[in-house]
Amino acid sequence: MIAVALLLAQSAADPGIIARGEKIFAQSCSVGYCHGVAGAAGRGPRLRGRSFAKDYLYNVTRDGIPSSAMPAWKGRLKEDEIRAVVEYVASLATATEAALPANPMPPGVGPASVPQFNGPSEAARGHLLFFDATRDRCGMCHAIGGRGIAIGPDVTMLAAKSPAEMLDAIHSSRARRVLAAKLATGEEFPALLAEQTGSQVRLYDLTSVPPVLRSFARSEIVSMKENSSWRHGEFVKDYSPAELDEIAVYVGWASRAKQ
């Protein structure tokens, strides 16, 4: 850690490192469900205009924050990339809101008012669990009733299933859209394709919750094949069977209400 502290101190005045950190932050951290553009408030906290100790920023960026939406970037970003992000975030301490880009969050995304639940009492507990802010909740990947993040498929399509059938689908399903992405660096991870153009590919990395949106040049990607081993059950293992029953009741009600 002493070596890391010395490296951070030495890089503090290097505008090239800060610029590199800004680019990495924009690609991986500044997304609709995490930090806002240029450190503005998003679903994650505001970083702009706030002072943090660099060793704290380094530890949080590298190791994440347990029981929160902040993922660990160790092993996913190189050491020098983590340090560059730390330098960029530290540089935001003196930034002002007036310097933010126009419309820092996409329309309809961000800390907008949360729709109130007006459904039946038997679905209320499942609704709370679906959007539970204290754990890796369903709403980090799925949207219902104008709330949540529509990364994964629309779960209200399960309207025809019974709660028992929904639970079986939750545990055993293998989403056909999930890919096995392999990078030129040798890194491999399960992913959902978010966008691709002639020169760039954007993937949701499913190795953490919430999934992290990562951007790559096409030349950085060796292959993207259907992932035959990914299972959704890994994402809901922290819910008890009783809680999953309640979530299934809520999803069933929401599915019928949508029709």
Q: What does the pLDDT read at residue 215? A: 82
Residue 91 domain flag: yes
User: Both 10 and 78 in a single domain?
Assistant: yes
User: Both 74 and 133 in a single domain?
Assistant: no
Per-residue pLDDT reduced to its tens digit, 101-146: 443 434 334 433 345 678 899 999 999 888 775 555 787 788 887 7
Q: Point out the domain boundary residue: 51, 67, 99.
A: 99
Helix then strand then coil, in percent of the chain rounded to 5, is: 45, 15, 40
More confident residue, 194 or 211: 194
pLDDT at 82 over 90: yes
User: Both 9 and 81 in a single domain?
Assistant: yes
User: Both 243 and 224 in a single domain?
Assistant: no
Please, which residues bridge with residue 196 across strands?
201
How far is residue 219's CA from residue 201's CA, in Å, rounded to a whole number?
Answer: 10
User: Both 65 and 135 in a single domain?
Assistant: no
Rounded to an integer, the average pLDDT of 145-167 is: 73
User: Both 129 and 254 in a single domain?
Assistant: yes
H or E segment and range at residue 224 = strand 221-226
User: Both 151 and 245 in a single domain?
Assistant: yes
Number of domains the chain is built from:
3
Whether the Cβ atoms of residue 125 and residue 87 lie closer than 8 Å to each other: no
User: Both 253 and 183 in a single domain?
Assistant: no
Instruction: Find the CATH number of the domain harbouring 28.
Output: 1.10.760.10
Q: Mean pLDDT check: name the lowest of 6-20, 73-87, 230-244.
A: 6-20
Residue 131 domain flag: yes
How far is residue 36's CA from residue 110's CA, in Å, rounded to a whole number?
Answer: 8
pTM assigned to the model:
0.55
Please, which residues bridge with residue 223 across strands?
182
Residue 26 domain flag: yes
Domain interval for residue 241: 123-173+233-258
